[in-house]
Amino acid sequence: MNARSIDGREIVLKPEALDDLRKRLRGRVLEPTDAGYDDSRTVWNAMIDRRPAAIAQCIGAADVVACVQFARQHDLLLCVKCGGHNIAGLATADGALMLDLSHMRGAWVDAQNRIVHAQGGCLLGDVDRETQLHGLAAVLGFVSLTGITGLTLGGGMGYLTRRWGWTVDSVAGMDIVTADGSLVRANDRENADLFWGLRGGGGNFGVVTGVDYELFPVGPEIVGGVVAWPASEAQQVLELYREMAEESPSELTLVALLRPAPPAPWLPKEWHGNPIVGLLACYSGPIAEGERLVAPIKSLGKPIGDVLMRRPYAQMQSLLDATQPKGRRYYWKSEYLPRIDSGLCEKAIANAAKIPSPHSAVVLFQIDGALNKLAADHSPVGNRDARYLLNITSSWENASQDDVNIAWARDAWNDMKSFSTGGNYINFLTEDESPERVRAALGINIGRLADVKAHWDPQNFFRTNRNISPAPVQQRPN
């Protein structure tokens, strides 16, 4: 079978070699003709359509070790898939051996020490489900189907970020299979340089088989949900967003979104597809205080839908899932913002009015608080000056509509990028982003990251990622 070497050359992988791999693993090895290959190889963004030479569905760290050793032995390109949510499709590569970790989704809670150990293939919802049994939560993201490991290796942010920082700020340790095929523990005491690099340096250092997250008391009920108004109300809604976001305690996170109304049951049918503005809120402190704090949102103007209420935290964590299904085409642009300027709001409204698809949006996430209190080099996620995140999310169904939808996102971004801190979220970078954008995302930490890479992966074996190797990076095969 044809495959790719780690530096992009075509190589031949003999059937005996794959048989040998099968013998070394407890999980399945899939070839392109096997049932399940397509399901396993595809990722969330349908713009990405790559065909690994083979897929190893690992069921534990020992399988991962065997795969890394096998790939080294055969000079085979390797890629790693957790949730497959990366918009640039970094989890998959043509001709590679793909490690599909979707069978490694166990999460074990130590409630007394407030730690969860989650396997490297968990989705966010897997971890929330186990931790919420104990009224605890890790700092994870806004969509429950996202993979924990890709999110964490790039930094991570969600409704609890204002209280406890980037996801990586409360990671206690990781287990990782490194380039020499050994299983290594990384935390503050063991392999501290590697641990530093893992907290924002992407998949550059190896295959993470497990993550330990510190847990915090959250829920099981919170005050959360969304209120929507006609887009004609956007100016006053964004003004309220700006005022409340500046003053509110870190228990409250607000997200503003401008988009065509989705066909959600809580929105009147006649509004579906028409432009709306929404405010998403999550208050994770005492319920009565949350109800008091969100009252100005609920009483603003004449909403067309209001599902901002007391609800389970786990439900809040999956509220946006239906708006981001696997299999659509996606193209994003993001920038961190130091504040919400009135000029930015005007531009957000104007650009949202030009959205060419029913699924696209201009979104403003509030993230300020704990993350701003640590030093810029605390971990490579950096961006400690970020207080908001602008995400221009273009999403559509058919390839024939690619140009118009990509052009909309790029134009909107060009119109609004002057409001940026200069940094952007590495986990939101699309396939076509330049190395300069990766450098902007990693900021001052890139030099130290390259040193850690040179120590732990001098041959740049792990390269299907936002690569920070000091050695020249080979073009990734598409």
- Among 420, 427, 467, 469, which residue sits at the site for ligand FAD (rule: CB under 6 A)? 427
Positive or negative, the CA dihedral 202, 205, 211, 216 is negative
292: left (phi over 0), alpha (psi -120 to 50) or beta: alpha
Q: Which is nearer to ligand FAD, 99 or 234 (CB)?
A: 99
Q: Which is nearer to ligand FAD, 228 or 363 (CB)?
A: 363
Q: Where would I find the beta strands (DSSP E) of 83-240?
A: 97-100, 107-110, 115-119, 136-137, 171-177, 183-186, 207-214, 216-217, 221-230
- Among 27, 52, 150, 369, which residue sits at the site for ligand FAD (rule: CB under 6 A)? 150
- The interface mask with ligand FAD, positions 358-397, x = CB under 6 A, is ----------------------------------------
Q: Judged by CB under 6 A, does residue 151 bind ligand FAD?
A: yes
In the complex, least distance from residue 210 CB atom to ligand FAD, rounded to whole angstroms: 9
- Among 46, 153, 261, 304, which residue sits at the site for ligand FAD (rule: CB under 6 A)? 153
R_g (Cα) of the chain, nearest Å? 22
Within 181-220, the residues that bind ligand FAD by CB under 6 A are: 202-203, 207-208
DSSP letters for 94-114: TTSEEEE-TT---EEEETTTT
Q: Which is nearer to ligand FAD, 45 or 445 (CB)?
A: 45
**Omega prior to 472 cis, within 30 of 0:** no
Within 90-149, the residues that bind ligand FAD by CB under 6 A are: 90-91, 101, 120, 141-143, 146-147, 149
In the complex, least distance from residue 1 CB atom to ligand FAD, rounded to whole angstroms: 22
Q: How far apart are CA 69 and CA 71, in angstroms?
A: 6
Q: Could you give the strand order of the β-sheet that contains 28-30, starting from the edge strand earlier in sequence?
A: 28-30, 54-57, 97-100, 78-81
In the complex, least distance from residue 195 CB atom to ligand FAD, rounded to whole angstroms: 14
Q: Which is nearer to ligand FAD, 80 or 226 (CB)?
A: 80
CA distances from 136 to 146, 219, 232 (A): 19, 7, 40
DSSP letters for 298-313: HTSS--SEE--EEEEH
What's 380's DSSP letter? T
Q: How far apart are CA 85 and CA 473, in angstroms?
A: 24
Q: How far apart are CA 192 and CA 164, in angstroms?
A: 21
Q: How far apart are CA 168 and CA 155, in angstroms?
A: 5
- Among 61, 82, 340, 345, which residue sits at the site for ligand FAD (rule: CB under 6 A)? 82
Q: How far apart are CA 418 and CA 343, in angstroms?
A: 11
Q: Which is nearer to ligand FAD, 383 or 427 (CB)?
A: 427
* Number of residues forming the site for ligand FAD (CB under 6 A): 36
- Give me the amino acid identity at 56: A
Q: How far apart are CA 458 and CA 368, in angstroms?
A: 36
Q: Which is nearer to ligand FAD, 191 or 303 (CB)?
A: 191
Q: Which is nearer to ligand FAD, 304 or 316 (CB)?
A: 316
89: left (phi over 0), alpha (psi -120 to 50) or beta: left
Within 459-478, the residues that bind ligand FAD by CB under 6 A are: 464-465
Q: Judged by CB under 6 A, does residue 154 bind ligand FAD?
A: yes
- The interface mask with ligand FAD, positions 299-338, x = CB under 6 A, is -------------------------x--------------
Within 217-276, the residues that bind ligand FAD by CB under 6 A are: none
Q: Which is nearer to ligand FAD, 146 or 284 (CB)?
A: 146
Q: Which is nearer to ligand FAD, 43 or 364 (CB)?
A: 43
- Among 85, 114, 463, 476, which residue sits at the site for ligand FAD (rule: CB under 6 A)? 85
How far, in whole angstroms, is CA 342 from its chain's centroid? 28
Q: Which is nearer to ligand FAD, 194 or 304 (CB)?
A: 194
Q: Which residues bind ligand FAD (CB under 6 A)?
A: 43-44, 79-87, 90-91, 101, 120, 141-143, 146-147, 149-151, 153-154, 156-158, 202-203, 207-208, 324, 427, 464-465
